[in-house]
Amino acid sequence: MLSRVAESIFWMARYIERAENTARFVEVTLNLVLDQPMGVDQPWRPLINATGDDAAFDKSYRVADAESVTRFLAFDKTYPNSVIRTLRSARENARSVRESLSSEAFEQINTLYHFVDAAARAGSQPDSATEFFDVIRHHCHLLTGILDATMSHDQAWQFANMGRLLERADKTSRILDVKYFTLLPSVDSVGTALDDLQWSSLLFSISGFEAYRRHHHMIRSESVVDFFLLHPEFPRSVLFCIENIQSSLAAIRGKSTDRRHKKPASQVTAVLKRLHTTTAKDILAFGLHQFVDSLQGDMNRIGDRISETYFR
């Protein structure tokens, strides 16, 4: 397939995944606030921390509260990673490669964009903010399903899959990194209702609450770290994402013996080896933040290798 098209599809999927994660983070936080007793610190600042875009936020907003953070993350057209901007980028990418997508997939991206754009144009906060973000999330899931069910699982699909997984792994590791430190002081003490609530919301933010319960029952910091980073079956864990990137790379390589396919594949193999030989205990001993930081460097390098090999 055309290199330009491969790149656009990869980024289209990345942007959609980014929008979905942002929508979910905001939705989970809105729900958490509803359950929180008065006087407890509001959990909005960590959401900005998780984006890594604190400077952009502080330039335009004075305090981090429900209103300002929702506006910034969802509707701010000057902020490139807001939901509206990432969806616009996704749609621009989709438009430029429309003929390589199924018609259903393009229509779904178009519908989603218009849904959020209409809300952004309306200016006021949506009547039910949680429901609004819930609908965005559903639209994104629908797109993933449409891509899965209406496109050949050919190279185009594999590039979309890699874009989605790389973005997802990045977001999963970021939210763990940021929230872990705001929650940590209370976790070693006896679990009160509040702790449970906060940790549950962290699990909700990767749609992992139910899956976690099934595996671990009790919320413990080590198990949470294991679940986010090293779980082999949960589709938002970093390990799961990277393993599936490996499968997509193998599918793209096919039967080709061309040596150029080696570069991204060997980078992925190196990261997987590291994840397979590490335990949550090791990670906590090493320092979670340091570990996540270097993991994100590794993932950026996977993206770079894919780009050098296939998009140039």
Partner 1 sequence: MSVSQTSISFEGYAPGNFFDELIEASGHPRPDAAPLVDAINRLPDGDLIRRQAAIERSLHRMGITFAVYGDTSGTEKIFPFDIVPRVVGCMMWRHIEAGLKQRIKALNLFIDDVYNAKEILREGIVPRDLVEQASTYLQPCVGLKPPGGIWCHITGTDLIRDADGAVFVLEDNLRCPSGVSYVLQNRAVMKRNFPQVFATCKVRPVSNYPSRLYEMLRELAADRVSDPTVVVLTPGMYNSAYYEHSFLAHQMGVELVEGRDLVVKDGFVYMRTTEGPQRVDVIYRRVDDTFLDPKVFRSDSVLGVAGLMDAYRRGNVALANAPGTGVADDKVVYVYVPDMIRFYLNEEPILPNVPTYICQRPEDQKYVLAHLDELVVKPAGESGGYGMLIGPHSTAEQRAEFAEKIRQDPRNFIAQPTLSLSRMPTIIDGELHGRHVDLRPYILHGISDTWVLPGGLTRVALRAGSLVVNSSQGGGSKDTWVAAEPGHGEVDTHADA
Interaction between residue 29 and partner 1 (CB under 8 A)? no
Interaction between residue 103 and partner 1 (CB under 8 A)? yes
Among 6, 211, 242, 271, binds partner 1 (CB under 8 A): 6
CA-CA distance, 82 to 110, in Å (whole number)? 17
Size of residue set near partner 1 by CB under 8 A: 24
Selected range binding partner 1 among 14-22, 98-106, 208-216, 238-246, rule: CB under 8 A: 98-106
Among 152, 256, 257, 277, binds partner 1 (CB under 8 A): 256
Q: Among residue numbers 258 through 297, which ones bind partner 1 (CB under 8 A)?
A: 258
**Shortest spacing between CB 161 and partner 1, in angstroms:** 14
* Structure token digits, residue 116: 């959020």
Interaction between residue 65 and partner 1 (CB under 8 A)? no
Indicate the residue among 2 and 250 with the shorter CB distance to partner 1.
Answer: 2
Indicate the residue among 35 and 154 with the shorter CB distance to partner 1.
Answer: 154
Selected range binding partner 1 among 64-72, 90-98, 219-227, 285-293, rule: CB under 8 A: 90-98
Listed as own residue / partner, the contacts of 306-310 with beta carbons closer than 8 Å and 24 or more positions apart are 306/10, 306/162, 306/249, 306/264, 307/7, 308/263, 309/260, 309/261, 309/263, 309/264, 310/3, 310/6, 310/7, 310/159, 310/252, 310/264
CA distances from 244 to 79, 161, 173 (A): 31, 8, 16
Neighbours of 91 (CB within 10 A): 20
Indicate the residue among 225 and 306 with the shorter CB distance to partner 1.
Answer: 306
Interaction between residue 111 and partner 1 (CB under 8 A)? yes
Name which of 25, 38, 30 is nearest 194 in CA terms.
38
